[in-house]
Amino acid sequence: MQFGIFTVSDVTTDPTTGHTPDDTERVRDILTIAKHADEAGLDVFATGEHHNPPFVASSPTTMLGYLAGVTKNITLSTATTLITTNDPVRLAEEYAMLQVISDGRMDLMMGRGNTGPVYPWFGQDIRQGIPLAVENYALLRRLWTEDVVDWEGKFRTPLQGFTSTPRPLDGVPPFVWHGSIRSPEIAEQAAYYGDGFLHNNIFWPMTHTKQMVQYYRQRFEHYGHGRADQAIVGLGGQVFMRKNSQDAWNEFRPYFDVAPVYGHGPSMEDFTRETPLTVGSPQQVIDRYGAFVDEIGYYQRQLFLIDHAGLPLKTVLEQIDLLAGDVVPELRKIVDAKRPSDDVPLNPPTHAERVAAARAAGEQGAAHVGGTEDRWTGRRAEENADGRHANAGSAFGL
């Protein structure tokens, strides 16, 4: 099982000090958090995508592209990428570019987004959320797997003879997850394609999570991608730890009580009982998260939210150290021992594994398409660079 962290990138005042980071400080903190997670040995860093304050993560591939250059081992991912309001053509291009730059050390997770106005801001209708997710993703896949795409759908300008570049690394697209909290249609989509399914259950009781995951597993098997227990599943999570449980409880409570999502609502006692939020010692986190496998079967990725609600950077970095040093090694032993058999994937597929599988199945795509000349303008790249005008006007068909 992979263990990692995900950020929603909220800018929140620290209720204990009154300090509010500005957007620049918050972005830089997130970079520090991701680098620290890599150095500490966590497996995954994922960023959300938001287009409204108080969130700063509007441009995931810029952030992840930088992180690809300054980290060594950590898998870079998203939580989530908006498949509804982003142009699937831009997603195909941006994430193929990230895949190339990171040398395949990335994957991504599709989500619809839960901020109503983002839809109209990007020219879409929220009531079409599911149809947008279905159509846009179908196009995105074609742009990655087919060299030249002719396409027409309901939501986007048609494409004739379009090639998305760069072509996916080694001709194999990135692994894709689909995240949904309550829509069976999205679990169905993930199952249909044999993609991963992540239930971000941080605000939900396990009974609900279990239903969604079981549904995805059954449908994964139905579509012939393997047995239900071989489907690729991820969960969200949320923890705050100190060596001494009572210290964790005392330190986190002021953040919990006014947190943007659940603040001023249920007590921390109620919320920790009803949701996966665990406040306490590393051992308590190990006990609680080690038991989720018993509920939903062996799964491949556990992400934690640790950098929200105004927690200071120093505290977040300490949480990463506790997670990577005290929790993950023990938790990994516990959950790996519960893997039902060797043919249940230990982790989500890596790029190298996907390349090997595609090669074996004869499904590997081209790593470059066409010649060295732009087939629309007839120009070569160097002709633009050296300022010659041999083909002036050719772009306009003159």
Partner 1 sequence: MTTQRTLAVVSAGLSQPSSTRLLADRLSAATARELELLGHTVTIEQIELRDHAHAIIDAMLTGFPTGDLARAVDALTKADGVIAVTPLFTTTYSGLFKSFVDILDKESLSQMPVLLGATGGTTRHSLALEYSVRPLFTYLRADVVSTSVFAATDDWATGATQHDGRDDSVNPLPQRIDRAGRALAERVAARENAGPADPFATAPSFLDLLR
By CB under 8 A, name the binding residues for partner 1. Answer: 130-131, 134, 138, 182, 184-185, 187-189, 191-192, 203-205, 208, 211, 215, 219, 223, 261-262, 264-266, 270-271, 274-275
Residue 114: CB minimum distance to partner 1, A: 10
Q: Which is nearer to partner 1, 66 or 204 (CB)?
A: 204
* Least distance to partner 1, CB of residue 258, Å: 12
Smallest separation, CB 134 to partner 1 (Å): 5
Nearer to partner 1, 184 or 312 (CB): 184
Residue nearer to partner 1 on the CB measure, 145 or 283 = 145
> Shortest distance, CB of residue 266 to partner 1, whole angstroms?
4
CB 176 to partner 1: min, Å = 15
Whether 310 and 255 have beta carbons less than 8 Å apart is answered as yes
Q: How far is the CB of 277 from partner 1 (least distance, A)?
A: 11
- For partner 1, give the closer residue by CB, 34 or 191: 191
Q: How far is the CB of 192 from partner 1 (least distance, A)?
A: 4
Residue closer to partner 1, measured from CB, 201 or 300: 201
Tokens 């489907």 map to which residue? 231
Closest to partner 1 by CB, 261 or 357: 261
Residue nearer to partner 1 on the CB measure, 3 or 137: 137
SS (H, E, C) the chain: CEEEEEECCECCCCCCCCCCCCHHHHHHHHHHHHHHHHHHCCCEEEECCCCCCCECCCCHHHHHHHHHHHCCCCEEEECCEECCCCCHHHHHHHHHHHHHHCCCCECEEEECCCCCCHHHHCCCCHHHHHHHHHHHHHHHHHHHHCCCEEECCCCCCCEEEECCCCCCHHHCCCCEEEECCCCHHHHHHHHHHCCEEEECCCCCCHHHHHHHHHHHHHHHHHCCCCCHHHCCEEECCEEEECCCHHHHHHHHHHHHHCCCCCCCCCCHHHHHHHCCCEEECHHHHHHHHHCHHHHHCCCCEEEEECCCCCCCHHHHHHHHHHHHHHHHHHHHHHHHHCCCCCCCCCCCCCHHHHHHHHHHHCCCCCCCCCCCECCCCCCEHHHHHCCCCCCCCHHHCC
Of 274 and 287, nearer to partner 1 (C-beta) is 274
Q: Write down the least CB distance from residue 211 to partner 1, Å.
A: 7
